[in-house]
Amino acid sequence: MGQANSALQVISGNPGALRDKLRAASGSCPPANYRDGAVVLENAVLLSLLAELGASTPTCVYFGQAPRGQQTNLLLGRLGLARGSVAARHITEAFTDGELNLVIGDGGDGRHGMEVPVFDAEGRRYGLTCGYSDYAMCYRLFGGAVEFRRFRANNSEVRDVAVGKGKLMKVFTFRSPALRPVEVDHDDGHPDGALGMIVLFYDLDAKEAVKNELLDTDTLTVNQIMKHYPKLAQMMLN
């Protein structure tokens, strides 16, 4: 335990080491073959919004149970996106190096981060900040009291601090030149523009739905499923 805490302190004080750890997480894992394209494309409000922004095709970077505990304690003004570098690897891949540097800041738990426009299922925009807590091992969205209170009030699924209990969350990223502030170049001049996020919440109680919707198992080998998704493998055997 002492060795683990010591290693954590070293990484927390070394943004470069933390960045490398996050980047390396996807190296040994299969791609997340989410069947999510229709969620955004069939939503008329979001479809219109993305068209107005001249946005790139949105990519699902997280699909799973909303992290529970203090990471989703919305009364504290933050929402955990994914816990653990493996679960969060697709969020990491969405950032350029310059953006990731801003997101992780000094690698500690201070209020560092990068401003990211966040949209909900109704197309409402929120000026939130995406940061990373190495201590909690998760990306977080947080914001000012007024803005985050508006986000919480407009999305009934996340009003309760017990969000995550029977709730699934989908997070999409996209890029648009219209989202890029003139004076900011931390996206490293990405040709598709600045980063935006879409966060959706919904219920998913049926195990069969989890098996069929959460992963495109047709493109994963049995060994990959057993290694990286043991719970899913057990459900498929039942």
Instruction: Indicate the pTM of the whole model.
Output: 0.74
To the nearest 10°, report the CA torsion of 73, 170, 58, 210.
Answer: 160
Q: In a structure prediction context, what are the per-residue pLDDT tens digits for the chain, which is 238 residues long? A: 444 443 344 345 577 788 888 888 766 565 555 544 444 456 789 989 999 999 998 888 887 776 655 444 566 778 888 777 777 888 998 999 889 988 988 645 555 789 999 999 899 999 999 998 877 788 889 888 888 889 888 876 655 545 445 567 788 999 999 997 755 555 567 889 999 999 988 765 534 444 444 444 444 444 444 455 555 545 544 4
Whether the CB-CB separation of 62 and 168 falls below 8 Å is answered with no
Which CATH number does 2-204 carry?
2.40.330.10
50 to 58, 93, 174, 194, 198: CA distances (angstroms): 9, 21, 9, 13, 10
225 to 32, 80, 188, 232: CA distances (angstroms): 11, 25, 35, 7
Query: Which residue's structure tokens are 């299969």?
Result: 30
Tokens of 60: 């699902």
Q: List the chain domain ranges.
A: 2-204, 206-238
